[in-house]
Amino acid sequence: MTENTTNAINNPGIRAFVDFDKEDIKKLLTLTDNSSEKLSDALGEKIKNIITNDDEFKKIELKGRELEELKIFLENQGFNELNEKIPEAANISDLTEDIVDVIIDEFLELPDQKALSAVSLGLFNHLKDKITPVLLDHVVKGEEDAVVKICKINPKLLYLSKATAIDYSGRTVTMTPLQAMIAAGDTDMLDAVIKHIPNGQKIVSEQIQEMFPKGVEDYFKEQKPFDFAPIIAAIIKANDQEVQNALDLNGASFTETEEAKTKADKDLSLTEALNRFREQFSKRSHKDKIFNPNHLLQAHTIYNTEFDNWNWNQRDLFWRQVIGYTQRYVPACFGQAFAQGIYSIVEEGEKLRRSFKLERVIDSFYPVNFDSCSDLGFNYAVAVGRALSQAVYRSEDVGTIFKIMSSKNKKLGRLMQNYTQNKTKSWCVVS
């Protein structure tokens, strides 16, 4: 601990506004040398109080020399335009939010802002709108280590505020970070953070109840798989050359043409039918607030059912461009499971490694390219941790996907059973 950090903590001008206990002081000791030097060389005690005080700092008067120092500080930091917003005499509360932003952001490194937010309600409220979207982005991208690190500093950031993030499939997620874990079925991440949340099971229960106001069982009963019947019919109807053209990605697109939109399903060429499937499946998947594994289960089931009825090119096409395309829309934790090999997790008990790297190739499961009709969903689907362009003999992923979903749902059920009025025997999406 540096001398500057000690002075910052022990200074009566700071301690007068926040009653730190021993645990709070431990958190404050995470201040970096850079941040503590900025604090001790700052604009005097009245500006330091912006960082540490909850409500009282709003009443602090700034006038004369202090306002002049504030203007000099803003000018030195390159924020000349903000000087025009500073009145002749003001309370701290009269300063605009962007001025306070500059003071906090310039004095403290982000890890120190997070640490101080744990002991200052004022700073927590100021920072949660900035940190929560970052935390949510870590959640939807399956970055467990980053999530746990922030959770250890201030677990309230997991559930007190909603934010918006975009996941790897392009889906817009607007939830609390904790709800995003639940929606994705990321029980591994839930296990990692819940032990750091006071009354964690109760908090998780409350988050789930907000997500499912009509009940969990009713919601999952209403989850239906995508209708693959039109694309199955198109593959069966197509001749060998049309199937080969589709495999070669001639005319492939994420959306259908204006001309194709005027046609009924039965009148589409195979390429047009695939483009319609991609557009419709993308829209359907993006509407799913909660991950719906039934799409992927249904696709694998169809593949196994039709296996003996199709030739190898038809199997390859369905494998790459139907099963593979549905894989593009799974949550990050499932993408990591596919990259690792679901069988090794379900049957061999391996811990999720949190990597998207595929075996034997330079490709990763995520991120996918939405500007090019290539890779996952076009050139290959993923099984046993590998990018496979050729259809497997029969898909064993139906059973393993079923098992991993059942395991995740049972974990969620155990979290809920002590706090729900209607106790749930099982949360299984599939039974």
Q: What pLDDT, in 10s, does the model give residues 129-146? A: 778 898 999 999 999 999
Q: Is residue 426 part of a domain?
A: no
pLDDT band at 406 (very low <50, low <70, confident <90, very high): low
Do 60 and 139 sit in the same domain of this protein? Answer: no
Residues 369 and 238 in one domain: yes
177 and 313 in one domain? no
Instruction: Check whether residue 112 and residue 127 sit in a common domain.
Output: no
Q: What is the pLDDT of residue 410?
A: 61
Does the residue 21 lie in any domain? yes
Identity (one letter) of the amino acid at 188? D
Taking the C-alpha atoms of residue 369 and residue 71, their distance in angstroms, rounded to an integer, is 47
**Residue 413 pLDDT greater than 70, yes or no:** no
Query: CA-to-CA distance for 292 and 146, rounded, in angstroms?
Result: 26
Q: Between the CA of residue 358 and those of 131, 340, 341, 381, 383, what are the distances in Å?
A: 31, 7, 9, 11, 10
* Statement to judge: residues 39 and 13 lie in one domain: yes
Residue 431 lies in a domain: no
Reported confidence tier of residue 375, pLDDT bands at 50, 70, 90: very high
* Structural domain total, the chain: 3
- Determine which of 67-81, 252-266, 332-346, 366-380 has the lowest per-residue pLDDT on average: 67-81
Q: Whose structure tokens read 């009709």?
A: 373
Pick the residue with more confidence: 62 or 4? 62
Cis peptide before 367 (omega within 30 of 0): yes
What is residue 244's predicted lDDT score, i.e. its pLDDT? 97
**Tens-digit pLDDT profile for residues 315-329:** 999 999 999 999 999
* Amino acid present at 183: A
Mapped to the 3 state alphabet, what secondary structure does 326-357 carry? HHCCCCHHHHHHHHHCHHHHHCCCCCCCCCCE
Give the domain range for residue 277.
229-400
Based on the fold, state whether residues 40 and 94 are members of the same structural domain. Answer: yes
> Based on the domain organization, do 252 and 383 belong to the same domain?
yes
Chosen domain end from 72, 98, 117: 117
In a domain, 411, yes or no: no
Alpha-carbon gap, residue 233 to 236, rounded angstroms: 5
Please write the tens of the pLDDT for every residue from 210-240. 887 776 667 777 889 999 999 999 999 999 9
